[in-house]
Amino acid sequence: MIILDTHAWIWWLAAPRRLPKSAAAAIDEAVDGAGVYVSAISAWEMAMLVKKGRLELTMDVADWIAAAESLPYIHSVPVTSRIAAMSVELRDYEYPDPADRIIITTAITMDARLITKDGKILSYPHVKAIW
């Protein structure tokens, strides 16, 4: 089972050449198996990036998210109260970014591998990350 970090989700669907072979292979394997999981916080993070002008999409952000979530192999994972609370208490993770903390916690609670290029996450020993 895999969880995609926000940038991995965007790149996989909009610019797959940006993904390294290891990440693309893990995603392809997941599509053929249990599917690909994306934290609901990634939709929030994507909308924030669009609003701040740091991300441009070819369509409205809500339409992009709806189109992505309509694919049968993509599963949105809600930010539960448990995930939200646990994200504050991540052992040995010093970085304050709430989206990253929730995505990490989602991967940990689902015992899933996390696809990310984020060096801070890749070096975090308590999550199984791939890039």
Listed in sequence order, the residues at least 6 apart from 122 whose beta carbon sits closer than 8 Å to its beta carbon are 116, 129, 131
Structural domains present in the chain: 2-130 (3.40.50.1010)
Helical pair 40-51 and 6-14, crossing angle rounded to 10 deg:
80
Are 12 and 4 in contact by the 8 Å Cβ rule? The answer is: yes
Tell me: the pLDDT tens digits for 56-70?
999 999 999 999 999
What is this structure's pTM?
0.94
Tell me: the pLDDT tens digits for 64-107?
999 999 999 999 999 999 999 999 999 999 999 999 999 999 99
